[in-house]
Amino acid sequence: MKVSERPVLTETYETLSVFSPGPDSSYIFGTSHEERSAHSQEWEAARPNVDFVRIISQFDDRFTVDLNGATFDVALRSLTQLRNLLSGLARRSRLYIDITGLEHQVWAPLIRSALDVGIQTYVVYVEPGDYRLSATRREGEIFDLSERINGVAPLPGFASLNELDAPDVPFVALLGFEGIRFRYVLEVSQPSRNKIIPIVGVPGFRPEYPFYTYDGNRPVLEDNSAWVRVRFAKANCPFSLWYTLKDVALEHPAASMKIAMIGTKPHAVGAILFYFTHSEPVELVYDHPKRKEKRTEGSSRVLVYAISAFVKQ
């Protein structure tokens, strides 16, 4: 498919105040320490035909949800509990999953279950206004984003595949600003040097961000000569990332793939979609960073992705 023929399944709004979920819908969201994840009561009250489903606590193995005043836990590794939650929301005509304030281990299983249940699903993401610069900058650390890395482990419902340990498996790294994370996943995964394929978000959320990505990851890119294999995908578009992954797959026919989700959340969504749709096995590599509480400031554009329509096309 030519680039000009690829469908556009993203709606963009300049601020959250001008975005309105469609009528007769459910809206799942969580609130983190970042202000861009917060909704005002006025914003919610102005949308009477929307059921707001608040995730009030997030853990490695479960989350706690507030649904119409009732709170209960949902186990992230229980397909039954996840599907029961989403099937209960299917009385509405569409579902929104706002991933802005949700951790990867929470939103990824929700997306998987929503697609399994067959609800018309949209993913919402609010871009940050800015990232907090590191006060004591070290190599690979431009912004002050993570406290620590908790270690590579499968996301709930996305098991690790032993057969993907072969040295000829392409290792695709979705790069963010943190070169430390890139180095870490390479040390843990030990891919062949000539199979490391970095993907940089171009264009970025802001024009200068791709340069920050290169700067933050430069030592690792040079150490492994991976800079010669860099690919590009629009930083705020999961579908752009999906097509880039598809291009990589076409260059490695009948090959499995490992994808390290250490870049933007929209790119991580694209990796999840590729996991569902690729004909060969895909393993998602995630290092579970502990995020700094005040890692971003303000909010910017709102992106709404029609993921179920994309999967069905």
Give the number of other CB atoms < 10 A from CB of residue 150.
Answer: 13
Average the pLDDT over 70-90 and give the result: 94
Q: Provide the CATH number for the domain formed by 133-291 in this structure.
A: 3.40.50
Question: pLDDT band at 138, cuts 50/70/90?
Answer: low
Question: pLDDT band at 290, cuts 50/70/90?
Answer: confident
Write down the pTM of the prediction.
0.91
Give, in degrees to the nearest 5, the angle at Cα 157 between 155 and 161. Answer: 75
Q: How high is the pLDDT of residue 90?
A: 84
Residue 142 confidence (pLDDT) above 60 = no
Per-position b or e across 228-253, b if 16+ CB within 10 A of its CB = ebbbebbbbbbbbbbbbbeebbeeee
Residue 246 confidence (pLDDT) above 70 = yes
Query: Is 39 or 256 the better-scoring residue by pLDDT?
Result: 256
**Residue pointed to by tokens 């076409």:** 250
CA distance 295 to 292: 5
Question: pLDDT band at 165, cuts 50/70/90?
Answer: low
DSSP string, 202-223: SS-SSTTHHHHHHHHHHHHHHH
Average the pLDDT over 224-244 and give the result: 95
pLDDT, tens only, 34-61: 777 778 788 888 888 999 999 999 999 9
Where in the chain do CATH 3.40.50 domains reside? 133-291
**Average pLDDT value for the chain:** 87
In 3-state terms, what secondary structure has residue 57? strand
CA distance 144 to 294: 9
Q: Are strands 25-30 and 50-58 parallel, antiparallel or unpaired?
A: parallel
Those residues whose C-beta lies under 8 Å from the C-beta of residue 2, and which sit 6 or more positions away, are none
Residue 2 confidence (pLDDT) above 90 = no
Token pair listed for 307: 């993921």
Q: Are strands 296-305 and 289-291 parallel, antiparallel or unpaired?
A: unpaired
CA distance 232 to 210: 10
Token pair listed for 276: 């569902």
CA distance 39 to 43: 7
Q: Are strands 25-30 and 133-138 parallel, antiparallel or unpaired?
A: unpaired
Average the pLDDT over 111-124 and give the result: 94
Token pair listed for 292: 């700094």
CA distance 35 to 238: 23
Those residues whose C-beta lies under 8 Å from the C-beta of residue 161, and which sit 6 or more positions away, are 256, 281, 283
Helix, strand, coil shares of the chain as percentages rounded to 5? 35, 30, 35
